[in-house]
A and B are shown apart, each in its own frame.
Chain A
Amino acid sequence: MTLLVNRLLGTLADPWLGEAVHRLEHRGAVETVTLPRADLARRRLRLRTDRGSDLAIALPREVALVDRAVLLLDPDRAVILRVEAENWLRLRPRDGAEALSLGYFAGNLHWRARFEGGDLLVAVEHPLATYLERLRDRLAEGRVQQVEQAAG
Chain B
Amino acid sequence: MTHPFPDFTAPAGPARIGIGGPVGSGKTALIERLIPALTGRGISLAVITNDLVTDEDAERVRRSGLIDPARVRAVEAGACPHTVIREDPTLNLAAAEDLDAAFPGLDLILLESGGDNLASTFSLDLVDWWMFVIDVGQGDDIPRKRGPGIMQSDLLVINKLDLAPYVHVDAAAILREARAIRAARPVLGCCCRPYGRDGADGTDGIDAIVDLIDREVLFTRAARQDAG
Contact: A43 with B216, CB < 8 Å? no
Does A6 belong to the interface (CB within 8 Å)?
yes
Does A54 belong to the interface (CB within 8 Å)?
yes
Complex: chain A residue closest to B219, CB-CB: A56
B residues 132-168 touching A (CB-CB < 8 Å): 146, 148, 151
Contact flag A6-B227 (CB < 8 Å), given A44-B15, A60-B13: no
Task: Give 17 A-B pairs besides A43-B128, A46-B217, A110-B119 with Cβ atoms closer than 8 angstroms.
Answer: A1-B224, A1-B227, A2-B224, A4-B8, A6-B8, A6-B11, A43-B12, A44-B15, A44-B219, A46-B216, A46-B219, A56-B8, A56-B224, A58-B8, A58-B9, A58-B219, A60-B11
Chain A min CB distance to B8 (Å): 6
- Residues of chain A having any CB pair with chain B under 8 Å: 1-2, 4, 6-7, 41-44, 46, 54, 56, 58-61, 110, 126, 130
Size category of the binding interface on chain B: 20 to 34
Does B215 belong to the interface (CB within 8 Å)?
yes
Contact: A7 with B8, CB < 8 Å? no
Complex alpha-carbon distance, A120 and B227, angstroms: 43
Complex: chain B residue closest to A6, CB-CB: B11
> Hey, which chain B residues are within 8 Å of A126, CB to CB?
151
> Hey, which chain B residues are within 8 Å of A44, CB to CB?
12, 15, 128-129, 216-217, 219
Complex: chain A residue closest to B128, CB-CB: A44
Complex alpha-carbon distance, A1 and B226, angstroms: 9
Does B201 belong to the interface (CB within 8 Å)?
no
Chain A min CB distance to B121 (Å): 8
